[in-house]
Amino acid sequence: MKHCANLIPASVLAVLLFSPNALSESNDVSDAHWSNLPIWGEEVKKLGYELPLPIGLGVYFNNQDVNYVATDDFKVGATGGLLGGLFGQQAGYIVPAEDVSITGQDTSVQLRADAWVFPFLNIYGLLGYTEGNKNIEADLSNATRNGSPFPVPVTIPIDLTYEAYNYGLGAVLASQVDVIESIDPIIVTFSAAYTRSKTTATDSYIDTKIASIRAGQKFELDDARLTVLLGFQYQNISQNVTGTLDNLSVNGISIADELRFDVDITNQEISNLSLMANYDFGPSKRWNVLAEYSFLNWNQLIISAGYRF
């Protein structure tokens, strides 16, 4: 079986954007970073801009609820019970995709490392662990059996729990736009990422692609900085859910002694809105805490803490 990997949105890196600060009032430019990153960083500093420390590590907690749809027919192989064939033979059923409903919830912990390669480009990688569940209901009232119509007035409930490990890569393009002279520039970011997840129960994988555009402002607070961004997200999850259930029964009726199932699914909605707040603090703003809530088409909450050096 497979599950949805919870991908940490790359746009959270946007809080590290450079901005005019006290450097513009001084000719003093700090020494180059030991990593020599970002490229062109010294030239940007000489123009009077503050750059974030280029290397970062962060730990992220992520929880999301997502609805899914089947992208093809739901395949079932049943042995024994109401759905099984005669003399213990397996009977094969095909359930139309529109008769399958799927919901899922995932909770994950992610470790991410990132680097500002250019003042406007951040690259990151992540490793994570996920626990979650899928609730699948397949209505057999329009099913076919071994190629012929064979409606059965029963809905198969499948409750799957899983663990998985995932890895991924992403990038963020960042800039700022002067809209009104009396206010700080508007931060604008575009991010894209790809992750792959593998469950501990099977050798199957999940591919997740995301993209987002965000805009907002930062607020300087003495030795700290608060950044608030509103975003539009795209997310596409492609996965195959397979497995076997033993001794399945519904309302006390034996449905199958063994039930095999296979279906390809994707997230029902691909776009969402989000609101993110990040707080940078400490010497050179090395530390940060972040909270991001995504809403409209699915609910997602991210809480993180990070350190830059």
Instruction: For residue range 200-256, list pLDDT tens digits in order.
Output: 876 678 899 999 999 999 998 988 999 999 999 999 999 999 989 999 999 889 999
Q: Residue 7: what pLDDT? A: 39
Q: For 76-87, write each residue's pLDDT tens digit.
A: 999 999 999 999
Q: Residue 47: what pLDDT? A: 87
Classify residue 21: in a domain, yes or no. yes
pTM: 0.83
Q: Residue 50: what pLDDT? A: 80
Classify residue 4: in a domain, yes or no. no
Q: How many CB atoms lie within 10 A of CB 22?
A: 10
Residue 113 belongs to domain spanning: 10-308
Q: Residue 127: what pLDDT? A: 98
Q: Residue 30: what pLDDT? A: 54
Q: Residue 28: what pLDDT? A: 39
> pLDDT below 70 — which residues of the chain?
1-30, 202-203
Q: Residue 202: what pLDDT? A: 65
Classify residue 45: in a domain, yes or no. yes
Classify residue 226: in a domain, yes or no. yes
Domains contained in the chain, number? 1
Classify residue 76: in a domain, yes or no. yes
Classify residue 2: in a domain, yes or no. no
Classify residue 196: in a domain, yes or no. yes
Length of the chain: 309
Classify residue 100: in a domain, yes or no. yes
